[in-house]
Structures are given as structure tokens and as C-alpha cells.
Amino acid sequence: MATIRDIANKLGISPGTVSKGLNGASDISESMRQAVLDTAVELGYKPKTMQFDKKICIMVENMNYESIDQFGYEIISGFERAAARKNYEVTIIPTNLTLQTKEQYDTFMLKNGYLGAFLLGFELHDDYVKQLDHTKVPTVLLDNFIADNKHVGYVGTDNYEGIKNAILHLKSLNHRKIAFLNGTKNSMITQKRQDAFLQAMEHAQLTPFESLIAYGNFNEDCAKDHVESFLKHGATAILCASDLIASGVMKELSLKNLQVPKDISVIGYDDIPLAKYLTPSLTTIRQNRTELGNSAFVLLDSLIHNIHISRIELRPEFVIRDSTSPALS
Amino acid sequence: MATIRDIANKLGISPGTVSKGLNGASDISESMRQAVLDTAVELGYKPKTMQFDKKICIMVENMNYESIDQFGYEIISGFERAAARKNYEVTIIPTNLTLQTKEQYDTFMLKNGYLGAFLLGFELHDDYVKQLDHTKVPTVLLDNFIADNKHVGYVGTDNYEGIKNAILHLKSLNHRKIAFLNGTKNSMITQKRQDAFLQAMEHAQLTPFESLIAYGNFNEDCAKDHVESFLKHGATAILCASDLIASGVMKELSLKNLQVPKDISVIGYDDIPLAKYLTPSLTTIRQNRTELGNSAFVLLDSLIHNIHISRIELRPEFVIRDSTSPALS
């Protein structure tokens, strides 16, 4: 592993100046500091850290987490609690594409003294996600898998098992024309759920119709672009890739004077607090978000200790409530 | 959750007799004890356990683990060390089909007061594996996945990543006719590696030939049934599903006066201690067995605490040694 002396030698400066650069001292120039950091990253330098000074961060993009009824809340609080028990200090960093173009991921992490990070809500085209192919910083991604880099791990919920049970439930209620309103196209989780839906339909010996499958996004308002077309093509049930999408679908159906579940059944995904308070209460595929956060920490702590877990997957739980009933025949 | 009183009521006996049955007291009949245990299992009774009395077990079948050069050794020692740190008492139980037909898995576990088990080396047709579809006993399987039962988890090494890197390595050495000698047909890991091999060949844009793919078993002596046929069909490299198989393959090649890697390249799987002492030393796909054991314990401990992780997968490491070199052209 590279030392402060290696960085000093490479740059032809004193180890003292390197330390200043790494520690953000104010008496060296910004350009010298940048040179120190870039060289440190290039040589794979890792800061030594003491028991009471273990800093990690959570980076969040495209995901709401501020209040308990939002998807990210319990994931983050589960992570924070697990981290606190092991004396890590956790910083939450909302991020976006602009921030990511300003500075390389590894440089950002080193500069701020973070030993590792948990990334939520990132999309495949994000700069930081692309840089994860080669990062040496221990990193855990929710719902994103990076191949061939032992420093990066994936945590998520088994997509197939939940969707399979939803489809079998609908089949037992005599639904045959099942629509699937998926999330944002540009995310790994959406691709996984697309595959899971097709595989589950095949497993249930049902035909998936192209006209009944669409990509939306993970918000309520994507429903209005697709519900009408699903209905026109004869859907008797709509499986949604999130509870928010399902809530939007139910509003859309209500505007068309259709009753859930009498006229059409709806299933959500996640079981956020909203799900059981909708009218009718929502049948959904539950992800245990506290445990997702907890598991993400277990994985990150393992990577920091050079235990190269590549994935931890949790079981979903299929929760049957009032938004599904037998298909109109 | 069922109580001792529930069991007593169901059988029409006193709670004291139920306690005796559960605790294996000598002053009740064997048939009464069996009735108590069967009813306890049926009602989903779980023993209350104190901090200093947490018993779990490791069941082993078809796997050598007694000495450090055997596949199971580090898995089991890694598990035991992690368990000891959390004050679990671990018992190792060698098992076989006869033992499994004598008693139901859940009954065995309850009778012996085990809170959970880690199962190694089981095959798909084993009675106990079949019973895992419905068990309520926290159970972790090495290399076997059980769908739809939240009490059972899977731990293993990512099969695709290791095999993909082996194939890309052989391709970079100009090998095109790559043979694959897999393990015992009746195991999930063998099926997974079969899929991984085909997928990796496709990824590398190489053609897999049926005549170059065979099932053996996880021992050295399966090599003699297949090497000749692989050679006849033009193989320039043989990928094996374990180091033991690879060792057998190298012996077979030596008997035919062929030199590894000059005449033919060989790759193993696992990186057991033997691998680096073979002549030539073996290029192989390393599984970190200590971490597999460690992760198996983390998973079992989670299941015991009602955290329903379905799988933990580790990264393989592709280790290049002397048994691979450019293909003869």
C-alpha cells in the first residue's frame, strides 16, 4: 500500500506538504492540494484511521428519505443505527450529476476522509456509477451490481420471488391479461424487474403482452401516460414497480370511474407506509427497508475489512390487502 | 408462537410432561417423547434460549473437512470462529441419507435444542433438502438456494464471475476448444456452473461444443472417464469444477505423456492448498473458504433474529499460476 512518502517522492515534495494536502491544511495552495490528492488516488493511498474516527458516508440521488413515509427513510435509519453500534460516523450527502462532474469519486472520498460509502438511487449513466468499475474505495450500492470489482458490493431484495408470488396470486384470481408498469428505464432494478416479470409470467404459464408492459418512472404521475392504453388492451390487473406508481394508477382509474378491485386489480411494490392507508389498501411486494439499510452496513463494514462479499439479497414478503380480487369474467 | 401449554392441551397431557419430553428426561416413554416432539414441530414451537446456551449445528455430507488441505476445513473453522465470538456453541454432525430417513429435520433440530443449522455438501435429492421447503428452523445452505422459504438462506461464491474470467484468460491465450469437466450432476452448484460456462463462452464469443462438456463428480478419479474423449475432440484447455478434478486431469494427461501447459492447459476451482503445490502449480478460481464460513454464520445469526436474508455471495478471485499457457497453433 502506498505511503505518504511514496506520494512525496512521486511529486518531488516533502512528506509534510503531502500531509498538509491530505488533511486540508490552509497553508498550501489549492492546486498543490489537488496534485497531492490526485497522486494519492493514483497510487492507491488509504488514510489510516483510528477506532473513534471511522467516517463513512451515504450518497443519495433521485430518492426521497427525509420523512418516515418516504422510501429511503428506513433504509438510511437502518444503516445509521447499525453503523453507530460499530462506532462509525455517518454523513448523508445528497448528490446530483453536476456535483459528480466536479470531482472524481475516489478523490472526493479521500479528500473527505471517508473509508467507504453507501450509494442510493443512482442510475446506470451516473458518472460515479461508471467510475465504480475501477474504484478502490469500499462501496455498497442499493439495487446496482458492479461486475469484477471486489471493492463494490450490492444489496437489494430478491426481485424474482416477489414478482412471481404477485403473478401467482393474480392467476389464482383468474387474471390473465396482467399489465406491468415498470420504473425508470435507465436503472438496473428496472431491468431486473422486467426480466423477473417475464420469467414469472412464463412460470405461471401466462402470456405477457407487449401492449401491457411499459416503462414509467418511480413517481405517481407516470400513471396517466399508460393506464388508458392498458385498459384499451384489456388489462384486468396492473402490477406496478412501486407503491407510488400504484397510487398514481389508482387515481387515474378513479378519474375514469373504475373501481379497484371490482373492475381492476392493482399491486404495488415496496410497502411504504402509504400502502396500507390507500383506499382500498394496497396489495404489495414488501421490501424490509430497515433490514436493507442494516445489511448495506454489514456489507460495507465487510468490504472495509477486506471481506469481498459481492451481494446480499433479502427476501421480499408478498402482502395481500384489498386492492386485488377475482377478475371480471 | 406456540407454548408448552399449547402442546399439552393438544395432547391432553400436563405441561410438566411436555417439558420432560422436550428436555429429553429419562422418566417418560420414548413414544410419549416422540408425540411431544411431533406436536411441538407441528405447532411451530421454538425453545426459549438463554444468552449462554445458544446451540447451533453444522451438518456435513459428501464433503471432507477434517484436515486443512480439504475443501470444508476452512469453511467450518471460519464459521466456528465467527460463532464463538457471538457465544454460540457449535456441534458438527456428519450425516447421510440413512440418518435423514430416520427422523424429520425439524424434529431432529428441536429434540437437540439447536436454534439453527448450516448445511454443507447436501444434494438436491436429499430428504433434508426437500424438507427445507417448509422448515421453520433457521437454516443456511452452502451452494443451494431454496425459493419461497424465508427461514432458509444461501451462501456461496459468484459462479459466473470466476468462470467468465477463466474463459477470458484462456481466450487471451488463443484457446478456442475449451472443455469443461463439471461436478456431480445432482447438485445446484453444478447446474449453476454449467449455466455460467455456457454464458461465459457466449460472452467471450466462443462456441461451446457438446463433446467438450461433461459431468463428473467432485473427486480426482472422474478424470479418467473424460480426458480421452476431450482430447479426441480437439480440446486445448480443460476447465474443471474443482481443484481435485483438475489434479485428476493432470494425472491422466501425464499418463498419456502430455505436458501441462505446453500441450494442454488446465484450470481448477476452489484454490485448496493442493493447488499451488501441484506440478505445474494450478491456475484456479479461488473461493475464500474462511469468509464463506464467516458469511454463513452472519446469515444464520440474521435468520435466528428474524432478518430474512436470502443470499450472501462472495467474489471469486482468479489466480493465474503455471498450468495455463498459449494454445498450440
Q: Radius of gyration over alpha carbons of chain A, in Å?
A: 23
For the stretch B130-169, what's the b/e string if a residue is b when 16 or more beta carbons lie within 10 angstroms of its beta carbon?
A: ebbeebbbbbbbbbbebeebbbbbbbbbbbbbbbbbbbeb
Residue type, A175: H
> Is A110 found in the same domain as A199?
no
CA distance B250 to chain A (A): 29
| Residue A51 clears pLDDT 50, i.e. is over it | no
- A69 touches A272 (CB < 8 A): yes
B103 and B167 inside one domain? no
Q: State residue A163's pLDDT score.
A: 98
In a domain, A27, yes or no: yes
Q: Tell me the per-residue pLDDT of A231-273, one tens digit each, with 9 for 90 and over.
A: 999 999 999 999 999 999 999 999 999 999 999 999 999 999 9
Instruction: Answer yes or no: do A307 and A228 share one domain.
Output: no
Which band of pLDDT confidence, cut at 50, 70 and 90, is reported for residue A48? low
Res A47 pLDDT > 80: no
Give the domain CATH number at B147: 3.40.50.2300
Residues A71 and A150 in one domain: yes
Q: CA A324 to CA B299: how far, in whole Å?
A: 34
Cα A68 from Cα A78, distance rounded (Å): 12
At A254, which amino acid appears? S
| Interface touch B161/A148, C-beta < 8 Å | yes
Closest Cα in chain B, distance from residue A58 (Å):
22
Report phi then psi at A320, rounded to 5.
-90, 120
Q: Specify the number of domains making up chain A.
A: 3
Nearest Cβ partner for A298 among B147, B288, B298? B298
Question: Which of B148, B158, B315 lies nearest to residue A161, judging by beta carbons?
Answer: B148
Pick out chain B residues at pLDDT < 70.
48-53
The answer on A239 and A145 residing in a single domain is no
Neighbours of A29 (CB within 10 A): 9
Nearest CA in chain A to B162: A148
Residue B49: its pLDDT value, please? 55
Give yes or no: residues B166 and B278 share one domain. yes
Q: What is the per-residue pLDDT for B35?
A: 87
Contacts of A315 in chain B (CB under 8 A): 150, 308-310
Distance CA B195, CA A65 (A): 39
- Do the Cβ atoms of B312 and A312 come within 8 Å? yes
Of A288, A308, A315, the CB nearest to B314: A308
Kindly state whether residues B72 and B99 are assigned to the same domain.
yes
Contact flag B311-A311 (C-beta cutoff 8 Å): yes
Residues A184 and A152 in one domain: no
Q: Is the dihedral of CA B213, B214, B215, B220 positive or negative?
A: negative
- Tell me the CA distances in angstroms from B171 to B97, B165, B174, B240, one per residue in order: 42, 10, 5, 16
pLDDT at A150: 95
- A80 belongs to a structural domain: yes
B298 CB neighbours in chain A (<8 A) are 298
User: What is the average pLDDT across A87-116?
Assistant: 91
Torsion (CA) B91, B301, B149, B44 in degrees, nearest 10: 70
Contacts of A275 (CB under 8 A, 6+ apart): A243, A246, A268, A281, A282, A284, A319, A321
Q: Do A161 and B147 make contact, defined as CB atoms within 8 angstroms?
A: yes
Residues from chain A contacting residue B151 (CB–CB below 8 Å): none
From chain A, the residues in CB contact with B317 under 8 A are: 150, 308
CA distances to A102, A145, A184, A223 from A216, in Å: 30, 22, 6, 7
Sign of CA dihedral A140, A143, A148, A153: positive
Shortest Cα–Cα distance, B31 to chain A (Å): 38
Least confident of A9-23, A60-74, B47-61: B47-61
User: Is the CB of residue A109 less than 8 Å from the CB of residue A59?
Assistant: no
* CA dist., res. B2 & res. B234, Å (int): 63
- Residues from chain B contacting residue A147 (CB–CB below 8 Å): 161
CA A38 to CA A104: how far, in whole Å?
9
Secondary structure E strands in B84-195: 88-94, 117-120, 139-142, 152-157, 178-182
| pLDDT tens profile A292-322 | 999 999 999 999 988 899 999 999 999 999 9
Q: Are B303 and B149 in contact (CB under 8 A)?
A: no
Asked, for residue A272, whether it belongs to a domain, the answer is yes
- What secondary structure letter does DSSP report for A145? -
Distance from the A293 Cα atom to the nearest Cα atom in chain B, whole angstroms = 12
A131 within a domain of the structure (yes/no): yes
CATH of the domain at A10: 1.10.260.40
Q: How wide is the angle at C-alpha A252 spanned by C-alphas A201 and A164, nearest 5°?
A: 15
Q: Which residues of A touch B (CB under 8 A)?
A: 147-148, 150, 158, 161, 165, 288, 291, 294-295, 298, 307-315, 317
pLDDT at B23: 79
- A118 to A56, A226, A311, A319, B295: CA distances (angstroms): 8, 33, 13, 28, 20
Residues of A in contact with B295 (CB under 8 A): 307, 309
Cβ separation A309–B312 shorter than 8 A:
yes
CA B41 to chain CA centroid, Å, is 26
- Collect all residues from B whose CB is shorter than 8 A from any CB in A: 147-148, 150, 158, 161, 165, 288, 291, 294-295, 298, 307-315, 317
Q: How far is A106 from chain B (nearest CA, A)?
A: 21
**Taking CB atoms and an 8 Å limit, are A148 and B158 in contact across chains?**
no
| Contacts with B301 (C-beta within 8 Å, 6 or more apart), sequence order | B83, B86, B88
Which chain A residue lies closest to B150 (C-alpha atoms)? A315
Residue B215 lies in a domain: yes
Interface contact A313-B317, CB threshold 8 A: no
Q: How many residues does chain B have?
A: 329
Domain extent at residue B295: 51-157+291-314
Chain B residues whose CB is inside 8 A of the A288 CB are 307-308
Taking contacts as CB-CB distances below 8 angstroms, the residues of chain A near B161 are 147-148, 310
CB A149 within 8 A of CB A135: yes
Number of residue pairs across A and B with CB atoms under 8 Å?
61
Q: Same domain for A131 and A84?
A: yes
Question: How long, in residues, is chain A?
Answer: 329
**In 3D, which of B245, B76, B239, B58 has the Cα closest to residue B159?**
B239
Whether residue A328 lies inside any domain: the answer is no
A37, A137 in Cβ contact below 8 A?
Answer: no
* CA-wise closest residue to B116 among B96, B130, B136: B136
| Residue B185 belongs to some domain of the structure | yes
pLDDT for position A49: 54
Give B18: exposed, middle or buried? Use CB within 10 Å, 0-12, 13-18, 19+: buried
Cβ contacts (< 8 Å) between A161 and chain B: which residues? 147-148, 310
B215 with B265, same domain: the answer is: yes
Cβ within 8 Å, pair A150-B317: yes
Note whether ipTM > 0.85 here: no
Query: Cβ separation of A315 and B310 shorter than 8 Å?
Result: yes
Which is nearest to A173 in space by CA: A4, A328, A11?
A: A328
Contact yes or no for A291 and B307 at CB 8 A = yes
Give the minimum alpha-carbon distance from A165 to chain B in angstroms, rounded to a whole number: 9
Give pLDDT, residue A279.
95
Residue A123 is assigned to a structural domain of this protein: yes
What mean pLDDT value characterizes chain B?
Answer: 92
Other CB atoms within 10 A of residue B317 CB: 17
* Contact check, Cβ <8 Å, B308/A291: yes
- Provide the pairing of β-strand B54-60 with B88-94: parallel
Could you count the other beta carbons within 10 Å of the beta carbon of residue A328? Answer: 11
Number of other residues whose CB lies within 10 A of the CB of residue B220: 19
Chain A residue whose CA is closest to B164:
A148
Name every chain B residue with its beta carbon within 8 A of the beta carbon of A138. Answer: none
B143 and B196 within one domain: no
Per DSSP, which regions of chain A are E strands? 54-60, 88-94, 116-120, 139-142, 152-157, 178-182, 213-215, 237-240, 265-270, 283-286, 309-314, 317-319
Helix axes A15-23, A4-11, angle to 10 degrees: 110
Count the helices and strands in chain B (H runs, E runs).
13, 12
Count of CB atoms within 10 A of residue B44's CB?
Answer: 11
Examine the domain organization and report whether A58 and A171 are in the same domain.
Answer: no
Question: Between chains, do B312 and A317 touch, taking CB under 8 Å as contact?
Answer: no
- The span from the first CA to the last CA of chain B, in angstroms, equals 68
Which three-class secondary structure string do you get for B176-204?
CCEEEEECCCCCHHHHHHHHHHHHHHHHC
B chain contacts of residue A165, beta-carbon cutoff 8 Å: 148
List, in order, residues 6 or more apart from B37 with CB less than 8 Å away: B21, B22, B107, B110, B111
Q: Are the Cβ atoms of A158 and B312 closer than 8 angstroms?
A: no
